[in-house]
Chains A and B, each alone.
Chain A
């Protein structure tokens, strides 16, 4: 799951000063970037497994269209990681398969 990131920092990119937790592992994020961007900078691996076949998926369109970046953020399931800005202390979980009714906090 923790393949090296498929991205590198651009010249002059700001430091990653925010700390998020992904399944208990710290993930660093830049202020102003989306959770999906932080996840892609952290790892090149899957960020969820699909409900139908369990296939691994990662953030894809980055603009709210494809819904492949769904994660659980601070207990809220099925959040589009590409549409949410990273904030200090966010707790993120990968989604393995479908969410169940009652998962909502």
Chain B
């Protein structure tokens, strides 16, 4: 199963990179956790037609999936990567059995996850991220019933518009404080982002036309289960308290890079203050601090699907050059239009990051909030531990078990950092990134043992 290039993640970045690398003459293994290629943004796009209510942008992903039909590409679905080993290659699991894919080059295109939105009650059945509901719409033809959308960011508008189009409009849109006026100076390159801006305004117009109650500048989220299993959602606007009841409470405060794999390899990372998240340090081609390891797409910093396509292609060109399949002039010639596309795709990013900030109450939530969902550790106990010496992620982990559950800190690290930062009056950038260890997804000891010793160890 040796390949010139192993790509992890079949979203827009991974799919484009696979095609470009294969057309350039490399053998490519494309590993992805899902049954079908597409990633989260184009989830299930190759499967069924006739779902126009999801919109034209979604349907565009179909061409990328078709592009994987190339003799140089081996797509391995349902493959969960749990280690990238400098000597052996990429180690992945499927159906309880692990495999090793040796590779001269590795491209990590693991995308984003939703930023955790912790507040009292966020662990109850009936609460989900808005992106999760979108996955259910794309993959299962299921639409949220009597749902409230809460938080901030363009995805909330998109999900609301899709729900309206599907005949199941949201009960209300509960928006945390936006800073759109404050962000306007960041629109210096607005011309490039104009189509996206117009699309966003169109979504907002559709939500208004549907008469959806829209609460702005909200805070103090709290959810409780009612006796009949519905959700009572309390929040405030200024001094006024509100209480709404819904079947499903969908929250969203943007997305952050999935960096467990890149961190587990010990790659150099940096803190992106604008996006409030850690990301691997990359050169303009996506090359990491390990020369044979590249990162493309949202896993290297949030940019969205269009940026991910361009970054995937740029990384593939650089890898083709390193592999001796493309000279520097050819690489640079093909890269020029991609760099222009990337610049266009990113032209709205700073504006969006500034316009939809994460309120501090979701970085350091009220004491009663469960922060670590796996080990059920509250914000109050984390605050207390931080004030009595647990002033870093590792100390917090050993004293309270935050981040040692099956999710390995994916759902709590941003909040634990926020709480320690608040308690010790230090910037978040000094408190991470947390060290991540193999396996980055749970596998049984039996499965690891069945892999056998490393070749070097047998001698």
Contact = CB atoms under 8 A, between A and B. Distances in A.
Given A44-B247, A53-B376, A7 B142 contact: yes
Contact of B406 (A12, A59, A67): A67
B145 A62 contact: no
Nearest to B96: A76
Contacts of A40: 136, 142
B126 A44 contact: yes
Given A3-B229, A44-B126, A85-B35, A33 B140 contact: yes
Interface in B391-432: 405-407, 410-411
A23 interface: no
Contact of B132 (A8, A61, A104): A61
Interface in B182-205: none
A37 B136 contact: yes
Interface in B120-177: 123-129, 131-132, 135-137, 139-147, 166-168
A41 B248 CA distance: 13
A52 B407 CA distance: 15
B53 A55 contact: no
Contact of B410 (A12, A53, A65): A65
A52 B376 contact: yes
Interface in A39-78: 40-41, 44-47, 50, 52-53, 55-68, 70, 76, 78
A58 B145 contact: no
Nearest to B166: A10
Contact of A44 (B135, B229, B258): B229
Contacts of A47: 125
Contacts of B411: 61, 65-66
B375 A10 contact: no
Contacts of B88: none
B449 interface: no
Interface footprint category on A: 35 or more
A104 B113 CA distance: 30
A46 B127 CA distance: 11
* Chain A, interface SS category: loop
Nearest to A41: B142
Interface string B14-58: 000000000000000000011110001000100110110100000
Contacts of A11: 53, 166-167
A63 B135 CA distance: 8
A48 to B, nearest CB: 10
A6 B132 CA distance: 13
B373 interface: yes
A105 to B, nearest CB: 11
Interface string A71-105: 00000101000010100000000000000000010
A7 B126 CA distance: 10
B407 A65 contact: yes
A25 interface: no
A45 B125 contact: yes
A40 B137 CA distance: 12
A64 B335 CA distance: 34
Nearest to A60: B128
Output the residue of A7, A40, A57 with the most chain B CB within 10 A.
A7
B127 to A, nearest CB: 8
B114 interface: yes
Given A3-B229, A8-B168, A45-B125, A37 B113 contact: no
Contacts of A12: 50-51, 141
A61 B33 contact: no
Interface of A: 3-14, 30, 32-34, 37-38, 40-41, 44-47, 50, 52-53, 55-68, 70, 76, 78, 83, 85, 104
Given A4-B229, A59-B128, 18 more contacts: A6-B248, A13-B141, A30-B141, A32-B48, A33-B141, A34-B139, A52-B375, A55-B376, A57-B373, A58-B125, A59-B132, A60-B128, A62-B128, A63-B131, A64-B33, A65-B410, A66-B410, A76-B96
